[in-house]
Amino acid sequence: HFSDVARVPGDPILGLLDAYRADPNPAKLDLGVGVYKDALGLTPIPKAVKQAEQRLIESEKTKSYIGGHGDTLFGEQLLKLVLGEGSPALVDNRAGCTQTPGGTGALRLVGDFIAKCLPGRSLWLSDPTWPIHETLFTAARLKVEHYPYVDSQNRLDVPAMLAAMERIPSGDVVLLHACCHNPTGYDLTQDDWRQVLDIVRTRELLPLFDFAYQGFGDGLDEDAWAVRLFVEALPEVLITSSCSKNFGLYRERTGALIAVTADGDSLIDVRSQFASVARNLWSTPPSHGAAVVGTILANSELRQLWQQEVAAKRERIAALRQGLVEALAPHGLAERFAHIAEQRGMFSYTGLTADQVLRLRREDAVYLVESGRANIAGLDAARLDQLAAAIARVVG
Ligand code: PMP
C-alpha cells in the first residue's frame, strides 16, 4: 500500500527557493536556483526564440511523432555549434546527434547506454559536481567514483585532480564539465586541459563532456575549446549538450547526446543503441524546443540576434563578478574574493562557509546554497555595495 511508501526530502535547492518566496523582506536576494536572471531579476524568453516560435506556428504542419534521434535540422545545426563548422569528425562522418529532453535527458540516456553496452566501466565525477550527476548515474546503475576538483579551502586544485586521474582504471568513463563548472565556477586553463587529455589518452579513458553552459563563459566557440581539442585528438568522445541556458528554453526540455566514434560504421551501431535505449525512456523526444533551436541556428538573421543575446548574458555575469570584487575592496576583501572574478559561468564557489551562508540568510535575506555556491546572475548591480557590506560583516 501507499502507506508503506517512505517520504524522501525534497531537492535542497528548490527548498531554498520556497524559503526565499516566503521571506517578507523586500530587499531579499535569491542567489540559489540555477537560472539566468536579467537586471530586473527576470528570466525572459529571448527575442530570437520568440521570433522563431512565430515562424514555427505558421509553418508547422503536423504534430505526428518525430524520429527517435529527433529533429534533423536541430541535429545538424547543434553538431556544428558544438564541434565547430569544419570539425574533422563531421567531415569524416563519425559524429552524430540524438535529441533528448534537456541535458538531463542526455545524461540519463548516456548513463543507460554505458550500463547496457559498456558494462563494468565506472563513471568518474568531479568532487564536487552538479548533485543530479550523483543521483542520476546511480539510478542508471553505474558505479560512481570521484576525482577531487577543489582543496579544503574550496579552491581549484589541478594537481590533486591530475594525480587522481592518473589512477583511474583504464577504460573507465570520466565526466568533464566542458565550461562553467557547476557548482564551483572554476574552469581549467588550456594547459590544464592538455594535461587531462594526455592522461585520458594514455589511460584510454572515455571522456564524457557535460556541456550545459555553452556561451556563458568566454564565448560560443571559446567555451567549446576543450571539447574540440578532445574530439580532434581522440577516436571516441561523448558529449551531452543542453539548450536550456543559452537558448533560455529551460521548460521546453531541449538537449542532445552527441557521439564521436572511431569510424562511420561504429557511429551507426552506437546510434542504434541510443535510439533503442531512448525508446524505453521517452520513446521519441519533444519537438518544440529543438525546432526553435534549429530555426534560429539555420537562419543568419535569427542566429545573429541570438548570439547578441547570449553575449549580453555573458557580459552581465562578467560585470557582476567584477563589480562584486570591486565592492568588496573598501572592506579589504578584494584579494580574498578575487577568485569570484576569475570564475566562469553562472555559479561561484564564494568560499563562504555554511555558518556564514546561514547568517546572510537570517540577517540580510540573501539566499545561497550552504556550500557557499552563489548564482552570480541573481545579483543586483545596484546593490553590490550593500551585499559586500553584509559579506564583510559575516566574514569579519
Ligand atoms: N548539467 C549541468 C552541469 C547543469 O547545471 C544542468 C542544469 N542545471 C544540466 C546538466 C541539465 O540541464 P537541463 O536538463 O535543464 O537541460
Task: For ligand 1, say whether the CB of 109 is within 6 Å of any of its atoms.
Answer: no
Question: Domain map of the chain by residue range?
Answer: 9-44+310-395, 49-298
| Residues designated catalytic | 130, 210, 245
Q: Do domains 9-44+310-395 and 49-298 have the same CATH topology?
A: no
Centre of ligand 1 from the C-alpha of residue 289, in Å: 15
Give the sign of the dihedral formed by CA 163, CA 166, CA 169, CA 174.
Answer: positive
Which ligand 1 atom is nearest residue 105's CA?
Answer: 14
Centre of ligand 1 from the C-alpha of residue 32, in Å: 15
Task: For ligand 1, say whether the CB of 244 is within 6 Å of any of its atoms.
Answer: yes
Instruction: Tell me the CA distances in angstroms from 10 to 7, 115, 151, 244, 383, one per residue in order.
Output: 9, 27, 29, 22, 31
pLDDT of residue 314: 97
Centre of ligand 1 from the C-alpha of residue 389, in Å: 32
pLDDT of residue 275: 98
Task: For ligand 1, say whether the CB of 248 is within 6 Å of any of its atoms.
Answer: no
* Alpha carbon distance 214, 198 (integer Å): 24
pLDDT of residue 304: 98
Write down the architecture of domain 49-298 according to CATH: 3-Layer(aba) Sandwich (3.40)
Closest C-alpha to ligand 1, atom 5: 182
pLDDT of residue 258: 98
Which ligand 1 atom is nearest residue 130's CA?
Answer: 3
Which ligand 1 atom is nearest residue 181's CA?
Answer: 3
State CA 80 to chain mean position distance. Answer: 18
Which ligand 1 atom is nearest residue 182's CA?
Answer: 3
Task: For ligand 1, say whether the CB of 230 is within 6 Å of any of its atoms.
Answer: no
Centre of ligand 1 from the C-alpha of residue 25, in Å: 30
Q: What letter would DSSP give residue 381?
A: G
All three cell numbers of 211, joined, read 556541456
Centre of ligand 1 from the C-alpha of residue 245, in Å: 8
Helix (H) or strand (E) holding 269: helix 264-279
pLDDT of residue 14: 81
Q: Choose which residue among 99, 104, 149 to substitute to test ligand 1 binding: the one with the highest number of ligand atoms within 8 A of its C-beta.
A: 104
Which ligand 1 atom is nearest residue 102's CA?
Answer: 16
Closest C-alpha to ligand 1, atom 9: 103
Please, is 303 exposed, middle or buried when counting C-beta atoms within 10 Å of its C-beta (0-12, 13-18, 19+)?
middle
Task: For ligand 1, say whether the CB of 289 is within 6 Å of any of its atoms.
Answer: no
The residues of the chain scoring below 50 in pLDDT are none
**What is the greatest pairwise CA distance in the chain?**
63
Q: Which CATH class is domain 9-44+310-395?
A: alpha beta
Grid coordinates 551501431 are at which residue?
Answer: 269
pLDDT of residue 34: 87
CB-based contacts of 193, cutoff 8 Å, min separation 6: 225, 226, 229
Centre of ligand 1 from the C-alpha of residue 104, in Å: 6
Q: What letter would DSSP give residue 367?
A: E
Supply the pTM of this predicted model.
0.97
ipTM score? 0.99
State CA 304 to chain mean position distance. Answer: 23
